[in-house]
Amino acid sequence: MGAMVVSPFIQAVAVFLATAVAAEVDPIARMTALAPITLATRPAVTVRGTVIHVDSILHELIVEDDSGGVVVDLGAGGNESAEAIAVGEEVEITGLIGPGEYAPIVSAFHLESRGHRGLPPPKRCDPEAFLAGSDHGRLIEVEGIVQQAWHDEDRVLLELETAGRLFTAEIPAAVVAAGVPGPDLQSLVDAVVIVAGPVKTVSNTRGETLRPRVIVDRAEWFTVVSGGVTFTQSAVPLESIGSFRPSFVGGHRIQTFGTVIHAVPGRLLHLQNGHHGVTVRIGAEAEGVDEQFLPGDQVEVAGFIDRSGHVASIRSAAVRKFGHGGAPLPLTVTPESILRVNAASAAGDIQAEPGDFEGCLVRTKGQLIQAQPTVSGGVFVIRSAGTIVSVEANAASFAPFESMAPGTLLEVTGVAAIDWGASLESPPGGAPERIRLMVRSADDLRVLETPSWWTPARLLVGLVATAMILTTALGWVALLRRQVAAQQRLLAAEMRSRRDAAVEFEATLRERTRLASNLHDTLQQTILGIGYQLDACLTSGGKASDETKRHVDVARRMVSYAATEVQGAVWAMRSLSLGGKSLGEALRDLVVRVGEGRDAKITVGVEGAFGDLPEFVAGNLLLIGQEAVHNALRHGAPSAIELALVDDRGEGRIHLRVTDNGRGFVVGKQQGANEGHFGLQGMRERTERLGGTFTIASRPGEGTVVEATVARRDYDGQLDDQPEPVRRVPTPRP
């Protein structure tokens, strides 16, 4: 019983109310009969009675008056300790009454002893009221037949039968030490005894009575009326243990015999005689016995009839072997026949002939439907002649056959059990619904025929899988063809673009060379001639005014500047040809020529050989680098320019980066083609024609970075051979 936890304040208030309100002591029976809704409020009560039991471990008392009894919870460390209270003492208790595990319980706040009154004599119980739990908390006396007796640590427990039902007698350690019930517990089985003591009912989680428990805590409260006899000469046939007998045997043992068809050591036997089988549960006296029973052993049993199932069985049995007749032969019968025989018996109110096969060893065939693992082993569901049968197996028997394919033909040997169902339409006692077979070992299962691997289900799965694979393959081929076509179009477009770039580069090179020759032969020579004439004017003996001389001098300087610019333009146009040099070497030569006479320091870093780079790719990159350097010198006024050229063979790309520390500009705000500045646009277009990327990064005061990245292509060598060779012309003299 669980103690109710109450605060000290509520306890004090309850004591006060109980003292003030309870003018008279409440009869225990009236308090325990309070409605559950009232008990839930835990009203204050005052009860007076005689202590009939003390439990020092649970800190509980059982107190009884003339009307009834109740359990009193003193609580751990309560007002009075259990050891200070003696059995037979009259007490007055003030406390709260509330629901307990089974019956109402009083939580004591105040306990007052009124002296030793002595125990009242145990009341001879009414079996019906006693078994219903109505004597809870009362001191009673009851007669019963011992069906089991065993030690539970230092106490003794007896299972007794009275009026066809069971109850438990508990004999505490102190009484056992006094020699009750004696050393030979098994001699008490089947004995008639009288036990007395306080009753504490065993209940379930719903508070429903399961069975009464009598605490026999005095030696004089245990009396043997007649001793039990294990085996006699009057045995009944196995098939008649639950049949009609004119002589009443009460709850005493019945003796029978049969052949063992299955045994679980120390727990149970399955016996069979002809078409009748019986389950025998071995009693507590067999625990620890080394004797083993094997199929085929002929045994005699003495035990108590158990009618809790659809057919009678024997429990708490003593067993002895008197012979061995060889391994029992199973009965060959179909599950449908078993159901039919039992259904006819139930419908016609006649005994099944030749028997009901319940508990018999039978053999049948069937096709496996499924194998389902369970906690204790597994179940095979088979179909035998149109009847579904559950075949139950332990772990050792189930494991070898767990992976059997559905459709496997099996031969099964096992102990039969029939599941019965009851409804308004079924006969009294129900109707047979299902057959279960319990196999004893893996030897009881035999594979007769395995199913064809190509079952309809597998064939369907195969066809579906093949169709899916074929559909996927066709879809993949179509997708691959589309991807190949797309790649071919992209490759053709790229090849056209690069071929156009190669042709354009050669055409540009020829045109620039022609223009350079024309400029050298015409404009540059003319400008030089004008310069010579102006020099002649200045050095002639004729007199001229100072103003005239000044203008002539200015014109002379302008002509000299124009000649230098034209010479630079001619050189720039003629410098595009690699002349058999690699791109890195040509870039270094470019820097040397451009940097001559400049204040800016120009450096080149080359990573890679570039020897196999097609001339149109190298020439375009050289032109991009030249334009970037000229732009930096013309517009940025830098003090340093760095060129970095990298041949990344792993990625198949060439990177050209030109960095200066000049004045910089806002990207996007610079002058473009509309203002007559084509440098950046030209570099971008050349890069994109080669399928590359062109980027420019700059900020005012932080310089400029120009970067071009172009791809290498295996077919560039063929494109490089297609344009006409460039006509070489002599380098013009200054």
User: Residue 270's pLDDT band (boundaries 50, 70, 90)?
Assistant: very high
SS3 596: coil
**Confidence (pLDDT) at 728:** 42
What is the rounded distance in angstroms from the CA atom of residue 379 to the CA atom of residue 93? 59
Q: What is the pLDDT of residue 616?
A: 78
The CATH superfamily holding the domain 579-721 is Histidine kinase-like ATPase, C-terminal domain (3.30.565.10)
Q: Is pLDDT larger for residue 175 or for residue 685?
A: 175
pLDDT of res. 359: 95
* Separation between Cα atoms, residue 711 and residue 706, nearest integer Å: 17
The answer to whether residue 548 scores a pLDDT higher than 50 is yes
Which of helix, strand or coil describes residue 484? Answer: helix
Is residue 95 over pLDDT 80?
A: yes
Report the alpha-carbon distance of residue 520 to residue 512 in Å, rounded: 12
Of residues 72, 69, 83, the one with CA closest to residue 109: 72
pLDDT (0 to 100) of residue 520 = 53
State the sign of the Cα–Cα–Cα–Cα dihedral 326, 327, 328, 331.
Answer: negative
- What CATH number does the domain located at 123-226 have? 2.40.50.140
* 3-class state of residue 85 by DSSP: coil
User: Are the beta carbons of 414 and 438 closer than 8 angstroms?
Assistant: yes
Phi, psi of 554 (to 5 degrees): -65, -45
Each residue's pLDDT tens digit, 636-687: 889 999 999 998 887 888 999 999 999 988 887 776 656 556 678 888 888 8
Q: What is the pLDDT of residue 578?
A: 65
Report the C-alpha gap between 482 and 292 in whole angstroms: 79
- Chain-centroid distance of CA 333 in Å reads 45
Q: What is the pLDDT of residues 111-122, one digit of tens each?
A: 999 999 899 999
Could you tell me the fold of the domain covering 331-449?
OB fold (Dihydrolipoamide Acetyltransferase, E2P) (2.40.50)
**Contact at 8 Å (CB) between 191 and 149?**
no
Task: Give the span between the Cα atoms of 499 and 690, in whole angstroms.
Answer: 9
Question: What is the C-alpha separation between 28 and 63, in angstroms, rounded?
Answer: 9
Contact between 191 and 158 (Cβ < 8 Å): no
Tokens of 226: 């007649």
Task: Please report which confidence band the pLDDT of residue 501 belongs to, taking 50, 70 and 90 as the band edges.
Answer: low
Give mean pLDDT, residues 569-578: 53
CATH topology for 8-116? OB fold (Dihydrolipoamide Acetyltransferase, E2P) (2.40.50)
- d(C-alpha 692, C-alpha 499), whole Å: 14
Q: Which of 15-19, 241-245, 472-476 has the lowest mean pLDDT?
A: 15-19
Span(s) in the chain for CATH 3.30.565.10: 579-721
Q: What pLDDT, on a 0 to 100 scale, did the predictor assign at position 80?
A: 52
Report the alpha-carbon distance of residue 726 to residue 505 in Å, rounded. 10
pLDDT at 76: 55
Hey, is 346 helix, strand or coil? Answer: helix
Other C-beta atoms lying within 10 Å of the C-beta of residue 670 = 16
Segment holding 654, helix H or strand E: strand 653-660
Residue 515 has pLDDT above 70, yes or no: no
Cα–Cα distance for residue pair 588/603, rounded to 1 Å? 8
Q: What is the pLDDT of residue 727?
A: 40
pTM above 0.85, yes or no: no
333 by Cβ neighbours in 10 Å (0-12 / 13-18 / 19+) ranks as middle
Q: Is the pLDDT of residue 723 over 50?
A: no
Name the band, by pLDDT with cuts 50, 70 and 90, for residue 186: confident
Residue 289 binned pLDDT confidence (cut-offs 50, 70, 90): low
* Best CA proximity match to 457, nearest among 414, 522, 407: 407
Decide: 662 and 670 in contact? Cβ < 8 Å: no
pLDDT at 642: 93
Bridge partners of residue 646, in order along the sequence: 607, 655
For residue 233, pLDDT beyond 70: no
In the chain, ranges of CATH 2.40.50.140 domains: 123-226, 331-449
CATH of domain 238-324: 2.40.50.200
Instruction: Give percent of the chain with pLDDT exceeding 90.
Output: 49
d(CA 265, CA 288): 10
First to last CA, the chain: 123
Complete DSSP assignment for 655-688: EEEEEE-S----TTSS--GGGT--HHHHHHHHHH
Quick: pLDDT tens for 697-718. Answer: 999 988 999 999 998 877 666 6
The confidence score (pLDDT) of residue 734 equals: 37
Q: Strand, coil or helix: what is 96? A: strand
* Most trustworthy range by pLDDT among 412-416, 487-491, 511-515: 412-416
Compare 184 and 501 and report the one with higher pLDDT.
Answer: 184
Can you tell me the distance from the alpha carbon of 711 to that of 704, in angstroms, rounded to the nearest whole number?
A: 24
Minimal CA–CA distance to 601: which of 655, 573, 569, 638? 638
Q: How confident is the model at residue 526 (pLDDT cuts 50, 70, 90)?
A: low
